[in-house]
Structure 1
Amino acid sequence: MTPNTILDEILAAKREEVARLQLFRRAIRAQAEAEEAPPPRGFESALRRPGEVAVIAEFKRRSPSAGEINPYAQVAGVASVYAAGGASAISILTDGPWFGGSLDDLRSARGAVGVPLLRKDFTLDSVQLYEARAAGADAVLLIVRALADTRLRELLELSGELGLAALVEAHDEEEIDRALEAGARIVGVNARDLATFEVDLEQSLRLIARLPAEVVAVAESGIRSSEDAAAAGRAGADAVLVGGWLMAGDPAAGVEALAGHPRRPRRAAMQAAGVEGVDAGDAS
């Protein structure tokens, strides 16, 4: 099975999952539950740490690329360790078949920690936003590659109406342009190409250095050490999102190693990288 087939299967399975939710009128119940949920916590503001890189620590038991990582991990305990170690936010994988997660993991994390929570899943439909809000999410993931432009804008708009921040994930320049044109305020540059599952951290950091000043820039995938987090800071990343490396090792020591690295303003990062034609308004 090729990585591209894995991605196609994940999206096909997610469409079937959404169809079942619609069939059983889950959207109506989830919308009512979302309206009763406690106020969301500030995900975007948590990532804006002046002069330093914030950490989004991720909870996941397995992944298609790595296989089993920590299959018996309990989310409340791990999330508490992440928060105590200095994580600014926590990402919770809620996909079951491929990542071993669930909305119950999100609910457990909400009860265990006070930092903002990201529901990380393959979001394709509004019902998933209502579910996320009802289960205690403060932010959701929207993957540019998985969404048409119209749907991306619709989900961004609804996220805002629900008080959810949206981490809009891109991999290349074209996807970054699509994210920005849709109105993304938080852009994650994924070093992993979802078509091949290959990781190129250096290329993703070059793309981060080009993001506009007003956008929160998140480096995703490929961060496996304190040195990688420091490199992300030099590229102007506001935050790093790290899961597999933390879950496979010591979560407490791992978060401490990632947190607090200096963040270079992105205009300076572009100049240091030798990018020509940089205007003062292009990057922070």
Structure 2
Amino acid sequence: MTAAHLSAGRAQRLATSRAEAAGLAGQPVSEVTPSRRDFAQYVATQKQGLSVIARFSRVAASVERIARAQAWDNAEVAAIAMSTAANGVAMRDFAALSDAVTAPVLRDDLTIDASQLYFARLHGADAAVFPVADLDAPALKELLRVASSLHMAAVAEVTSRADVERAAPLCRVLVGIRCVRADGTLDVAMTAEVARYVPVQCVTICLPELPSLADALALHGLCDAVTVAADTLDVSDIPELMTRLIGG
């Protein structure tokens, strides 16, 4: 595994995912209703603009988080993303927020086992992230099969050209670029570089949060969707931010 994969707590995120998968192993699978929200359709722009994914990752009061999510939903955000890793959203709150919005919901944690897909869908996820660099071909194939059966979008996380070359040929996979600096913040230049290797027909998402609106300009024409931090932005500023991002 490269230094890029280990940066910004990636090793910890992967360890958390493995622990979750181990905890879910052997548990009976409850009846799960397939997703009815088409994440791919909502975020795709054919690179003609940027759709917006509002990401919630920090601990906050459930009522406040739901109110914020509904404000984003009312502003016609393309999707909501949530992380349930350390300092993230509890799964019960994930489910409550998913029920409160009409936009599709991405679970932005590393999914490495089919049991996690059922678990995520049971709590309202419409899309999941698969770390291409950390999955062998049989494991990836099985995850894609299960995701398809649940009508969930599969987002292949890539950090390099080599990852893109593995992800791009896969059927019905969205490409999620996660290039970050040592401090975990978005590396815009590296994201743009990796995006240039993604076939134009692939829906491409910038998974890390944008540090500023100016950074979005570098990704126009390269990505379909960008991610913004939804936790801290004043609700009254959401419509203007959406207009500026989508309008470029």
Relative to the length of structure 2, the TM-score reads 0.85
Matched residue type, 2:29: R
Q: Is 1:48 the equivalent of 2:44?
A: yes
> In 1, Cα distance between the equivalents of 2:168 and 2:67?
36
> In 1, Cα distance between the equivalents of 2:186 and 2:210?
10
Kept after mapping to 1: 8 A contact 2:185/2:211: no
- 1:203 deviates by 1.8
CA spacing shift, 1:114–1:71, aligned 2, 3 Å: closer
Q: Which residue of 1 aligns with 2:234?
A: 250
Query: Secondary structure, in 3 states, of the residue corresponding to 1:221?
Result: strand
Q: Which residue of 1 aligns with 2:20?
A: 17
Q: 2:151 aligns with which of 155, 163, 168?
A: 163
Matched residue type, 2:114: S
Identity of aligned residues (%): 27
Q: Which residue of 2 aligns with 1:60?
A: 57
Kept after mapping to 1: 8 A contact 2:107/2:120: yes
* RMSD, matched Cα: 2.6
Q: Which residue of 1 aligns with 2:212?
A: 225
In our comparison, the structure showing a higher alpha carbon Rg is 1
Query: Secondary structure, in 3 states, of the residue corresponding to 1:140?
Result: strand
Q: 2:173 aligns with which of 140, 161, 185?
A: 185
> In 1, Cα distance between the equivalents of 2:68 and 2:208?
19
CA spacing shift, 1:10–1:93, aligned 2, 3 Å: closer
Kept after mapping to 2: 8 A contact 1:93/1:121: yes
Matched residue type, 1:225: S
Bigger relative contact order, structure 1 or 2 (CA pairs below 8 A, ≥6 apart): 2
CA spacing shift, 1:117–1:72, aligned 2, 3 Å: same
- 1:116 deviates by 0.7
Matched residue type, 1:49: T
> In 1, Cα distance between the equivalents of 2:205 and 2:135?
19
Q: Is 1:175 the equivalent of 2:178?
A: no
Matched residue type, 2:165: D
> In 2, Cα distance between the equivalents of 1:42 and 1:129?
16
Q: Which residue of 2 aligns with 1:273?
A: none
Matched residue type, 1:257: L
Kept after mapping to 2: 8 A contact 1:85/1:253: no
- 1:16 deviates by 2.4
CA spacing shift, 1:196–1:76, aligned 2, 3 Å: closer
Q: Which residue of 2 aligns with 1:275?
A: none
Q: Which residue of 2 aligns with 1:154?
A: 142
Matched residue type, 2:225: A
Kept after mapping to 1: 8 A contact 2:209/2:226: no
Q: Is 1:88 the equivalent of 2:85?
A: no
Q: Which residue of 2 aligns with 1:200?
A: 187
